[in-house]
């Protein structure tokens, strides 16, 4: 179990948890690294007020408990020195060697963007010339969309740098995970807006990464802490329910453990049985996925059986199924078919004597070490030869998943690619010859084609799944047999890169498609890019937009260069439309019309001054409505309750410190937009268009339909929230069968 205790006194605590196989030289090396880090960080404190060295030691302790090599523990102690002190990478290399320096460099944050654009230079000037502005104006600037975008891009550049380093040395990511875990443990000291952002990033990136590496010990704690700060009310509710039922559950598990131990001992099989705690995040996921309340989550009771070898696993499974009835569809054999992160175990669920479900996991000690420590278990068994082969398998598998990483230069796109290609669950599909192809969940036939062979992907024109023709946006499922229908020659369609159509989900396939277009000649890409961009702007009614200004915003020397980038797929139409919309507080200039009346104001439209993303709810005693003078009262576990200022309950309140200033937020505006759709008339056409609008939560205000000689012309007035949504809806409507075009009608 990874320790959560405070690290005081720091060095003594670290030395206590170092693996017993570390030599005296190893321990001296770690002590030297500790003293070096302590000196470098000596005048620094964390937000909590603790000495900064406490964080470095906590990271080293997490790594030591994973039993990694001494150089990794030393790098854990030094991981923030280059980033936060005057120590340089050359200093680390001189004093601790190339290996430690390389690991420290891999986890060091970037402090500036490596590809500085004109826009970045402009922003730098804007911030540097800000010394004479008052504090309120500076705060507004720092919280502006521009500043947030820059911070997000910098964070993604840092992640990209770390993931690229991970491809060369997997130990870099172990340090990064340990660093993130301790930051999550101490996240309560950070401001509310930072807490939510960091916690969400942990759930999106770091917990899935720990899962992909098979390190259960880190995964579950990152997930639970992430949920604690992204969904505090739900976390508290589940934690309270678990606490209330813990005593009864422990009593039941003790009786179950004794019964199982007696049964299995009769057969002569040695067994170690432990109660398996269900973690808060996994309960939350089951409640969401199966739409069940806490009481109906099936596997709150679980036991883990550790037996000497694989034959014993199946023998014990037989004993359990003989004595208790198995629950249908609840048996998984991950020994014969390991999970994609190399996890192995037998899982079953039975109805126990009391009529309630009991989940059972059966595995060997080696499987248990792999389940707990994942890829880090390699170093626990490094003296045994066969483990190296499996370690190499894991590394090669990870590298294969990330083959595309060097081809993607944009940091945001790189991180999105990691989420889709590396962190998502996997599906396993078959070629017509029976070969297994491993793809991320949600992958399409085009993704499959590019995984089989680049040339097959380029010439893909259709697909059969299990013998039936399917559309190219079909989401493949485990067990599907896929046959690609390919042309004899030709290349991919530029539509495949349109994110609105959902034809390609993997970064690998996107990179291959872009590579094909980049090899076309410049003139062809220029012509195609110009046609694509002008068609989209014409369709959105934005012909008067200054394209030279747009090219400069993307840091291209000329408009032609931007056309070429669009033509070869370096920059997507979706990205351009997002840029037109991004950072605009008021989009009415893009629509050239007055917005519709705002939607009803909800609780989310109330802002608490000085606090971000705090839960709000309306008091039932005074029922405030928009326009009333209001105040907020902080209640434990329920955020801020909104009262009218003249509410008697508020006037009688003695604890004035818990009263906060609040204001009615801005309700979301929508804009009425007139669009025209031309199509060949068919049965169900209107229903399909309605489904597209419904899926986007778009209100249809008016419609005129005219059918002449089997040609239908529909003019609709729809309520659109922004230009990005308009682009997405028009693309999806235009992609419907029989639809020839869908575009926005300009006034006059």
Known catalytic residues are 83-84
* CA atoms of 624 and 33, how far apart (whole Å): 59
Identify whether the C-beta of residue 672 lies closer than 8 Å to the C-beta of residue 593.
yes
Q: Where are the beta strands (DSSP E) in 277-341?
A: 302-306, 325-326, 332-333
Identify whether the C-beta of residue 17 lies closer than 8 Å to the C-beta of residue 11.
no
* CA atoms of 616 and 621, how far apart (whole Å): 15
Name the residue among 278, 325, 324 with its Cα closest to residue 303: 278
Name the residue among 511, 446, 491, 509 with its Cα closest to residue 473: 446
Cα 475 to Cα 122, 429, 440, 458: the distances in Å are: 43, 11, 10, 19
Residue whose token pair is 């976390």: 235
Maximum pairwise Cα distance, the chain: 90
* CA atoms of 617 and 604, how far apart (whole Å): 9
Name the residue among 285, 290, 296, 350 with its Cα closest to residue 323: 350
* CA atoms of 524 and 374, how far apart (whole Å): 49
Could you please report the per-residue DSSP string of 17-58? HS-TT--HHHHHHHHHHHHHHHHHTTT-B-TTSSBTHHHHHH
Name the residue among 408, 368, 405, 375 with its Cα closest to residue 392: 375
Does residue 237 sit in helix, strand or coil? helix
Q: Where are the beta strands (DSSP E) in 292-405?
A: 302-306, 325-326, 332-333, 346-351, 357-363
Q: ∠ at Cα 731 (564, 486), nearest 5°?
A: 70
Q: Strand 302-306 and strand 357-363: pairing?
A: parallel
Cα 386 to Cα 342, 382, 394: the distances in Å are: 15, 9, 13
**Rg of the chain (C-alpha set):** 29
Name beta bridge partners: 639: 635
Sign of CA dihedral 322, 325, 327, 329: positive
* CA atoms of 454 and 460, how far apart (whole Å): 10
Does residue 363 sit in helix, strand or coil? strand
Cα 595 to Cα 369, 588, 666, 715, 728: the distances in Å are: 60, 7, 13, 19, 20
Identify whether the C-beta of residue 130 lies closer than 8 Å to the C-beta of residue 138.
yes
Could you please report the per-residue DSSP string of 109-151? PPSS-SS--HHHHHHHHHHHTTTTS-HHHHHHHHTSHHHHHHH
Which pair of structure tokens corresponds to residue 557?
Answer: 């020397």
Residues listed for the chain: 748
Cα dihedral value 539, 542, 545, 551, nearest 10: -40
Which pair of structure tokens corresponds to residue 286?
Answer: 């089951």
b/e string for 595-627 if b means 16 or more Cβ within 10 A? beeeeebeeebbbbeebeebebebbeebebeee
Q: What are phi and psi of 699, to 5 degrees?
A: -85, 130
* CA atoms of 458 and 492, how far apart (whole Å): 5
Q: With residue 641 as reference, give the H or E element that holds it.
A: strand 639-644
């Amino acid at each position: 179990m990874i320790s959560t205790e405070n690290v005081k006194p720091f060095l003594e605590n670290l030395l206590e948890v170092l693996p017993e196989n570390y030599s005296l030289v190893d321990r001296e090396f770690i002590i030297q690294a500790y003293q070096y880090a302590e000196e470098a960080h000596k005048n620094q404190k964390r937000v909590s007020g603790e000495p900064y060295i406490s964080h470095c030691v906590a990271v080293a302790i997490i790594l030591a408990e994973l039993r990694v090599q001494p150089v990794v523990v030393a790098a854990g102690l030094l991981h923030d020195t280059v980033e936060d002190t005057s120590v340089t990478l050359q200093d680390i290399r001189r004093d601790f060697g190339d290996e430690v320096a390389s690991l420290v460099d891999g986890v060091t944050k970037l402090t500036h963007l490596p590809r500085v654009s004109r826009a970045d230079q402009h922003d730098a000037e804007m911030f540097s010339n800000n010394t004479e502005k008052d504090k309120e104006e500076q705060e507004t600037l720092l919280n502006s969309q521009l500043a947030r975008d820059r911070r997000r891009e910098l964070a993604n550049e840092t992640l990209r740098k770390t993931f690229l380093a991970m491809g060369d040395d997997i130990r870099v990511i172990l340090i990064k995970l340990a660093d993130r875990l301790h930051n999550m443990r101490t996240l309560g000291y950070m401001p509310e807006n930072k807490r939510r952002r960091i916690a969400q990033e942990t759930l999106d990136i770091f917990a899935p990464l720990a899962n992909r590496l098979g390190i259960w010990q880190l995964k579950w704690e990152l997930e639970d802490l992430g949920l604690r700060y992204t969904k505090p009310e739900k976390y508290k509710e589940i934690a309270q329910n678990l606490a209330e039922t813990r005593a009864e559950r422990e009593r039941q598990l003790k009786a179950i453990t004794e019964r199982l131990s007696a049964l299995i001992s009769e057969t002569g099989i040695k067994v170690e049985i432990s109660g398996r705690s269900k973690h808060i995040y996994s309960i939350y996921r089951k409640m969401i996925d199966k739409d069940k309340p806490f009481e109906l989550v099936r596997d709150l009771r679980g036991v883990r059986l550790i037996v000497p070898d694989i034959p014993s696993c199946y023998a014990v499974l037989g004993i359990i199924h003989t004595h208790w009835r198995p629950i249908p569809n609840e048996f998984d054999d991950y020994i014969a078919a390991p999970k994609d992160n190399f996890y192995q175990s037998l899982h079953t669920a039975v109805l126990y004597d009391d009529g309630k479900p009991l989940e059972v996991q059966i595995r060997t000690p080696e499987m248990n070490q792999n389940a707990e420590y994942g890829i880090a278990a390699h170093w626990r068994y490094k003296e045994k030869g066969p483990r190296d082969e499996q370690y190499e398998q894991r590394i090669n598998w990870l590298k294969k998943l990330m083959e595309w990483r060097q081809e993607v230069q944009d940091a945001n796109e790189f991180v999105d690619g990691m989420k889709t290609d590396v962190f998502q669950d996997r599906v396993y599909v078959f070629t017509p010859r029976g070969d297994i192809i491993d793809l991320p969940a949600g992958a399409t036939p085009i993704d499959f084609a590019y995984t089989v062979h680049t040339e097959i992907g380029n010439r893909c024109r259709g697909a059969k799944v299990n013998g039936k023709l399917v559309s190219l946006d079909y989401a493949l499922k485990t067990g599907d047999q896929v046959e690609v229908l390919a042309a004899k020659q030709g290349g991919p369609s530029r539509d495949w890169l349109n994110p609105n159509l959902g034809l390609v989900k993997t970064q690998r396939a996107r990179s291959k498609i872009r590579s094909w277009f980049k090899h076309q000649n410049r003139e062809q890409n220029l012509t195609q890019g110009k046609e694509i961009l002008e068609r989209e702007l014409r369709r959105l009614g934005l012909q008067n937009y200054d394209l030279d200004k747009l090219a400069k915003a993307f840091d291209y020397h000329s408009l032609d260069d931007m056309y070429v980038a669009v033509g070869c797929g370096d920059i997507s139409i979706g990205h351009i439309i997002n840029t037109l919309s991004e950072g605009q507080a008021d989009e009415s200039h893009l629509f050239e019309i007055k917005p519709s009346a705002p939607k009803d104001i909800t609780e989310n439209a109330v802002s608490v001054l000085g606090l971000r993303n705090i839960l709000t709810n309306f008091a039932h005693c005074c029922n405030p409505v928009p326009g009333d003078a209001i105040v907020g009262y902080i209640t434990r576990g329920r955020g801020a309750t909104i009262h009218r200022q003249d509410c008697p309950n508020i006037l009688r309140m003695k604890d004035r410190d818990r009263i906060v200033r609040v204001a009615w937020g801005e309700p979301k505006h929508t804009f009425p937009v007139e669009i025209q759709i031309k199509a060949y008339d068919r049965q169900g056409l209107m229903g399909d268009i309605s489904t597209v609008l419904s899926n986007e939560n778009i209100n249809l205000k008016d419609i005129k339909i005219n059918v002449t000689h089997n040609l239908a012309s529909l003019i609709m007035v729809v309520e659109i929230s922004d230009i990005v949504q308009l682009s997405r809806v028009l693309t999806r409507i235009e992609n419907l069968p029989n639809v020839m075009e869908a575009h926005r009608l300009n006034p006059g």
